[in-house]
Amino acid sequence: MLRFMFVGDSMTIGSAGEHTWRYRLWQHLRDSCGRPFTFVGPRETLHDRVTDAPTSCAYAEPGFPRAHLAGWGEGWHHMTPLIAQTVRSCRADVLLVSLGLIDLGFYTNAEQTAANVRAFVANARSANPRVRVAVMPVLHNIRVDADETFAEQVAHFNELLVKTVADLDDADSPLLLVPPPPGYDFHTDTYDGTHPNESGEHRIAEAFATAMAEEWGLGGPYSPGPPSP
């Protein structure tokens, strides 16, 4: 049984009533993985925007594995201290990581965030020396257009992330940089300039699916399954 774990921020945990890109990827892997798999993690809830807390179980599609390690307002800064114990306790084989927006916006600069990426990978490998990690750069969002300093930090971090992945990639524990989704546009792929809507969910899921299929032979060409009602 292959055990995937999502590690992310608000774009990954999602809000009450959303499908999330986790669900879109599950649809794809369900039909293309070719081997038993599941999603693991210590959390299962969505974010409830009414109470501003991660307490909702109101998934738009309740019939898929909900487990994850994602949190509204969390980044590399928050996940790095958690990842070793979480990988160990959940016996994760593959980490699907989308982090960095929160770090650069509130906690750390590009260099400090890149250092946390290195620590995250080391901590994950300390728990599972054969863990695979797929990482997506920070996607262009509305703040990048509005805040020049933030935009510079995002661009610099994404450059550092390329080098970090190249430096840390290992045959026993592969580290994969997931290219940003082709054509991703926060004007049409998010509902508020940051958080993915249906098309954004599919684009992010497809980016991870394509990278894993091409580099690791996991799954095949992206097929999202039947459209949502």
The two tokens of residue 229 are 């009602």
CATH number of the domain bearing residue 85: 3.40.50.1110
Count of domains for the chain = 1
Q: How far is CA 34 from the centre of its chain?
A: 22
The answer to whether residue 210 sits within a structural domain is yes
pLDDT at 213 over 70: yes
Q: Is residue 222 part of a domain?
A: no
Predicted local confidence at residue 226, as pLDDT: 52
In a domain, 227, yes or no: no
Range of the domain at 198: 2-216
How far, in Å, CA of 35 to CA of 1, rounded? Answer: 7
Residue-wise pLDDT for 159-209, tens only, equals 999 999 999 999 999 999 999 999 999 999 999 999 999 999 999 999 999
Q: Considering the domain boundaries, does residue 131 fall inside one?
A: yes
Q: Is residue 194 part of a domain?
A: yes
User: What would the pLDDT profile of 47-88 be if each residue is shown by its tens digit?
Assistant: 998 899 999 998 988 778 999 999 999 999 999 999 999 999
- What is the mean pLDDT of the segment spanning 15-27? 95
- Nearest-5° angle of CA 60, CA 63, CA 65? 105
Rounded percentage of the chain residues whose pLDDT exceeds 70: 98
Confidence of residue 225 (pLDDT cuts 50, 70, 90): low
In a domain, 221, yes or no: no
Instruction: Identify whether 171 is part of a domain.
Output: yes
Q: Look at residue 107 and tell me if it is in a domain.
A: yes
Of residues 124, 112, 48, 55, the one with CA closest to residue 84: 124
Q: What is the pLDDT of residue 44?
A: 96
Dump the DSSP string for 76-111: HHHHTTTHHHHHHHHT-SEEEEE--HHIIIII--HH
In the predicted model, what is the mean pLDDT of the chain?
Answer: 95
* pTM exceeds 0.85: yes
The whole-number average pLDDT for the span 3-20 is 96
